[in-house]
Amino acid sequence: MEADVFYNAMKAGAYIAFPKGFAGIYIIQQVILHGPKKGLFASIGCIATTIAISLFLLFGVHININEYIIEYQVWVKIALGIFACGLGMYFICKDVDVDSSKQKKSLKSLLIGFGITVINPLNLITTSGFMVNAYGKIYQETIQNKFLFVLHIVEGSFLLYICMIGFVWFVMQFIKTLNTRHVNVFFGTIYVICGIGLFITIFIPISI
């Protein structure tokens, strides 16, 4: 397989991972509240979605996800809006005075990161769009090369997430005091605003 194909796969992985929507917000929130470890687990959950979609489309399952999203965009917006508002209210009402041991469950961050990413139309569109365009170049490749192709996509995504987590953590070193409750309310409000925004777009001619 040509080297530029692998290089383009890494670029695509970074583009797919570029913080758009709730996933990027959630990763940043986890880094601020709990440190880079939880941010890393949240990003792994996001990457798992990319791996699943890439393998699904790469091994001969030809489905134009974009068409389905556009066709059912009203229901997509309603579901995503409800999820965003629910997640926002969860963080706004979250009790921060809990046992710190309960906050160290990284698996929860991973699962939420996966869930937020898998229902994000932007992630589905960018991932499926790239894989459909790339399929013509690699459909005759061996299974090993196809897996290597997906691996390079993952590498690009992982590198971008590492840079984002490292930057946020670096900035946090200069912030000595931070009220956890205020952070949760701030990010929870962002989620709610995004959810309400999705409901509003149902009544105006804006496509996802």
What is the reported pLDDT for 180? 80
- For 31-52, what is the mean pLDDT? 86
Following DSSP, what letter does each residue of the chain receive, concatenated? --HHHHHHHHHHHHHHHS--THHHHHHHHHHHHH-HHHHHHHHHHHHHHHHHHHHHHHTT----HHHHHHHTHHHHHHHHHHHHHHHHHHHHH----S-GGGGG-HHHHHHHHHHHHHT-HHHHHHHHHHHHHHHHHHTTS-HHHHHHHHHHHHHHHHHHHHHHHHHHHHHHTT-----HHHHHHHHHHHHHHHHHHHHHHTTTT---
What is the reported pLDDT for 166? 92
The 10s digit of each residue's pLDDT in 118-159 is 777 667 666 766 666 665 555 566 677 777 778 888 888 888
Q: Residue 188: pLDDT above 70?
A: yes
What is the reported pLDDT for 100? 45
What is the pTM assigned to this prediction?
0.75
More confidently predicted of 117 and 29 = 29
